[in-house]
Structure 1
Amino acid sequence: MRKLLKWVFILVGLLLGSLLGVPIAHAAKVNPAVAGAGYTVQMVRPRGQVNSTSGYFNLKVQPGEQQRLVVILHNLQAQPQKLTLGINQAYTNPDGVIDYDRYNVKPDPTLKVQLKQIFKEPQRTITLPANGTERVGLTYEAPANPFTGTVLGAVYVSQTKPGKKYGKGKITLQNLYAYAISIEMRESLKAIRPVMAMHHVGVGQVDRQNMVMANLQNSRPTVMERLNTQAAITKQGSTTVLIHQTKKGMGMAPNSNFNYRIPWGTTTLKPGNYTLHLSAQATKGTWHFTKNFTVTQQQLNHLANLAKQPKPNYWLYILLAVVIALLLALVGYLIYKNHKNKQQLAQK
């Protein structure tokens, strides 16, 4: 009975891996103790912490100051585990969310202080013994020359290898967990207003969806919060709106930029000249942009070729979901039958 259940669960795992369609699932910025990562990360509050109740490093520093930040890593597994620890600069991802999951992020031209450059060992690999705990020190030296505003990043801890892999080829199921503790470093608590700029506007494609993409930049060393946008695309010289989009609740990291995406939806842009009208409102600013761009036949051909790539077989996904449901029903039936047989034997 136990062997049968074991193989049933392995088969369900394989089918789930195929159904999800992703070789590795990243789960970043979640509590690994809850998510089942097999390890935990805890900060030790240092001197200079602006708010003693903050769950991240919120530091007020002096020029040239040196200090050692400490995080505690605890392995919850019964075997050794390798982790990569890096000091990552905050950036703004394509969804308008502040993120920390990249060690080598191309810095924005306006960024003057890179967080990893002021830490003596910005990246390392740590081997935790089975069920072991290790205190890791991270020493920084603040820039000798005074800086304004906020330098934002994180201590980013991730597994060097994903979990056990089942199956062959595309049928795989693996988990790779990561955890980030933010670092906010300032010399002055004086508020700075963000400044937004809109640069290149063009067309592209993401997940077979055609997009108009506008590069937005926060050029000041301050976090842009509660960012809402309204975008409209018209033919150049016309007031008729062809594509419209409203987005709310975004944010931007200090001194960062990202490609703001506007899906075409059911509209097909033809070769020609267009205008993007974009308004943005954040906690400390309002901006309005108007920029012309051109769509060429060559670009449309390229987008069409990208869209011709093989699409996922959703019927296969449905079939797999049905098979999984049947297998789970079988497991339930076997457990019920086994329990009933035990009751009958006990009554004899």
Structure 2
Amino acid sequence: MLNKKIKYISIALMLATVALVQVMTGNMTTQAAPQGDYSVQKIAPAGGEIKEDASYYDLKMAPGETKTIEAKIYNKGSEEISVKNLVFAAFTNANGQIDYTKQADDYDKSLKIKMSDIAKVKSSDVDAKVPPAGEVTVSVDITLPQDVEPGVILGSWHFEKDGQVDDKGKKEGVTINSKYAYALAIKITVDKEVEKPNLNLLGISIGVVNYKKAFLAELQNDVAVITGKVTIDAKVTAKGKFDTLYENKLESLTFAPNSNYKFPVFLGTDQFKPGEYT
């Protein structure tokens, strides 16, 4: 239980987490189905992987080790294209799922080594030029520091073609960006996987999520492990009372290693009122 003073609201919130299971979820690879005039394909590393048939890069590395991974970009069009590709560090997004498609605005303080710090696209490949009806191979160099601890480092290799605009939308007076991007997940297991995750309740605040007022419980997975099938069940009552005022339950949430997530308990049409709550 946690008591926190927020403006004039004193809040205590108890969260139950169920079935914290160390698994690789089915959304490890966030590559979209081939769309438009280009596509991206993983090239299996020469040194092998933990899971040989994985659609993502499933690498096992030791402290201080260096490894190179490759991918192919295919141009199905009749003109040369330029594809920008970068490495992102995975995080837990506002929906309680692992996000591979962008960099987070802020990363959890427990994340000491980000994928984007240790994995770099070869400088000549960052803006890859792909000839008409052709293909190019691009690469990422990964170097682990000597002091890295055992566990999982998670991220993605993100690809997006330059100059993607929906001309039809512009003609109708509305700018619509129909962009097709690809994200190949990268999972690095340093020495061995941590046996189980650890969730902490860091604090409680109030705010707005998707234009809806909510109590926000900041949850943290401070261990270098992926959590799968997390259930969060939260209820808010007046202090000393048993009647539930507000509640929210979400299942099958997934936390990235060393990440945090603000779990909302919505007020519906109610306004925040000063008082003490559990």
TM-score for the superposition, normalised by structure 2:
0.81
Establish whether residue 187 from structure 1 lines up as the match of residue 198 from structure 2: no
SS at match of 1:242: strand
In the alignment, residue 36 of structure 2 is paired with which amino acid? A
* 1:244 to 1:172, Cα distance in 2 relative to 1, 3 A: same
Q: Provide the C-alpha distance between the structure 1 equivalents of 2:127 and 2:177, rounded to a whole number of angstroms.
A: 21
Give the whole-Å Cα distance in 2 for the aligned partners of 1:121 and 1:95.
Answer: 29
Larger mean CA deviation between 263-272 and 106-115 belongs to 263-272
Distance 1:234 1:104, change over 3 A: closer
Q: What does residue 68 of structure 2 align with?
A: 68
Q: Is the 8 A contact 1:57 1:181 kept in 2?
A: yes
Work out whether residues 120 and 140 of structure 2, in 8 Å CA contact, stay in contact via their aligned partners in 1.
yes
The residue that corresponds to 1:51 in the other structure is: 51
- Which residue of the partner structure matches residue 217 of structure 1? 220
Say if 2:220 is the partner of 1:226: no
Partner SS for 1:94: coil
**Residue pair 1:116, 1:122 contacting (<8 A) in 2 also:** no
Contact 1:221/1:255, CA 8 A, preserved across alignment: yes
Of all paired residues, the percent bearing the same amino acid is 25
Q: Specify the alignment match of 2:38 in structure 1.
A: 39
**Residue of structure 1 in register with 2:85 after alignment:** 85
CA deviations over 1:185-208 (Å, ceiling 9, x no partner): 112234421111112212212332
> TM-score normalised to the size of structure 1?
0.66
Q: Which residue of 2 aligns with 1:114?
A: 114
CA gap 1:160/1:262 in 2 versus in 1, 3 angstroms: farther
CA root-mean-square deviation: 2.1
Q: Secondary structure at the match of 1:152?
A: strand
Change (3 A) 1:104 1:195: closer
- Give secondary structure in 2 for the equivalent of 1:167: helix
d(CA) in 2 for partners of 1:242, 1:38:
52
Contact 2:56 2:186 in 1 (8 A): yes
8 A contact 2:88–2:116 mirrored in 1? yes
- AA aligned to 1:38 is D
Distance verdict in 2 for CA 1:97–1:104, change over 3 Å:
closer
Equivalent pairs, count: 246
Mapped to 1, the partners of 2:120 and 2:193 lie a distance apart of: 28
Query: Could you say which residue in structure 2 is the equivalent of 1:286?
Result: none
Deviation at 1:158, TM superposition (A): 1.8
Please give the alpha-carbon distance, in whole angstroms, between the structure 2 residues aligned to 1:160 and 1:271.
Answer: 51
Q: Which has the larger radius of gyration?
A: 1
CA contact 2:150–2:192 (8 Å) conserved in 1: no
Q: Which residue of 2 aligns with 1:158?
A: 160
When you count strand as a share of all residues, which structure comes out higher?
2
Q: Report SS of the residue matched to 1:186.
A: strand
| CA apart distance, 1:30 | 4.2
Q: CA deviation at 1:168?
A: 6.2
**Residue segments in structure 2 that go unaligned for 5+ positions in a row:** 1-28
Q: Distance in 1 between matches of 2:91 and 2:170?
A: 36
Task: Check the 8 A contact 1:215/1:257 in 2, yes or no.
Answer: yes
For 2:104 and 2:198, the matched residues in 1 are separated by: 25
Letter in 2 for 1:83: V
- CA change 1:41–1:243 in 2 (3 A) is same
Q: Deviation at 1:272?
A: 2.2
